[in-house]
Amino acid sequence: MKRKTDDCPFRTTIGGQALIEGILMRGPKKQAVVCRTKDGLVEKTEELRLVKDRHPMLGLPFLRGVVTLFDSLYKGMQALTYSASLVPLEEQGEPDKLDQWIEKHFEGEKAQKLIISTAVVTGVALSLFLFIFLPAFIVGLIPGLKMHYMARNLSEGLCRIAILLVYMRLVCEVSDVKRLFAYHGAEHKTIFCYEHGKPLTVENVRPESRFHPRCGTSFLLVVIVVSILVNSVVRLDNSFARMGCHLLLLPVVIGVSYEINRWCGAHDNALSAALSAPGKWLQHWTTNEPDDSMIECAIRAMELVIPEEKGSDAW
């Protein structure tokens, strides 16, 4: 049964993403990027053109998850690239050879779109390698598991979780990522403050929790658990054949995981709490306590996307 709690009387669909010295906030109608530079805050706001508005069928349950994921990946990479461009030239590293080649052969906006698309494709390819191909390969080397399909599938799922935890732990040690995760914490605190109906001030945002149940971190863990259940239908011995089947089943995994995440966001009971708990635990790594300048950045980004019609962003 759906109900609202005294702790969080309102749940918003507004979500965010940490950037390089900035925050992306995405509301129901528009998104805003706010970054801190040596000259102060830089703002960039744009109206959202959602795929489901042009193709309503793609907004249906189980289909919308895949569309939303790739749309968020692309827009998130756009915002990340924009935030990187605001870093002073003396602090920017040299672009990699592929980016240099694209900039040499294409101009302006076309080059920018190609660089972003390449980054998204590379990120997706790395994710597929780490969480589909590598677990299937590693577990396939274990003798005695080939014919025990359930045990093999469970082992692959545990392997994915181990890879995710090791990856997150290593990333957390990078100094630039620590600041990125502090902006992530500022985003969560600001959303909580808004949901609690308090004025968006640094003083009100600062004491809020940085562990939010509707964070994308929870989605990653739900995907792994759902993949164990969905991939249980795969009863093949050959590791490469299993990889191919897991790849084909990936849209199903994403679609189901997205619906579970939406359900958890809208409900408050023992089951939703249990499903959200691992993601909130992982946020001890993926969020850090922000300073006041980061909170100011998150507040401004939130203010720019809050809809004029009160309550129209309800979850």
* Average confidence (pLDDT) over 285-293: 95
Given this model, what pLDDT does residue 1 score?
A: 37
Average pLDDT over residues 125-152: 85
- The pLDDT assigned to 141 comes to 86
Lookup: tokens for 292: 């006041």
| pLDDT tens track for 65-95 | 888 888 888 888 889 889 988 887 666 666 6
Tokens at residue 43, please? 């703002």
CA atoms of 105 and 94, how far apart (whole Å): 18
Structure tokens belonging to residue 71: 């749309």
Residue 25 has pLDDT above 50, yes or no: yes
Going by pLDDT thresholds of 50, 70 and 90, the confidence category of residue 56 is confident
Give 5's pLDDT tier (boundaries 50, 70, 90). very low
CB 19 within 8 A of CB 283: no
pLDDT score for 93: 62
Q: In this model, does residue 280 exceed pLDDT 90?
A: no
Q: What is each CA distance from 209 to 273, 290, 291, in whole angstroms?
A: 16, 11, 14
Question: Residue 89: what pLDDT?
Answer: 66
Q: Give the pLDDT band of residue 152 (cuts 50, 70, 90).
A: confident
Question: So what's the pLDDT on residue 182?
Answer: 96
Rounded to an integer, the average pLDDT of 256-277 is 84
In contact, 197 and 311? CB cutoff 8 Å: no
Q: Identify which has the larger pLDDT, 18 or 124.
A: 18
Q: How far apart are CA 155 and CA 141, in angstroms?
A: 12
**Mean pLDDT over each residue of the chain, to the nearest integer:** 86
| Tens of pLDDT, residues 169-211 | 899 888 889 999 999 999 999 999 999 999 999 999 999 999 9
Kindly tell me if the per-residue pLDDT of 147 is higher than 70: no
Percent over 90 (pLDDT), the chain: 39
Greater pLDDT, 178 or 102: 178
Look at residue 179 in the predicted model and tell me its pLDDT. Answer: 94
pLDDT > 60? residue 306 = yes
What is the model's pTM?
Answer: 0.86
Integer Cα distance of 20 and 28 in angstroms: 23
pLDDT at 90: 62
What Cα–Cα distance (Å) separates residue 268 from each residue in 12, 195, 222, 285?
Answer: 14, 15, 17, 24
More confident residue, 221 or 15: 15
> Is the pLDDT reported for residue 6 higher than 50?
no
How far is the C-alpha of 140 from the C-alpha of 126, rounded, in Å?
20
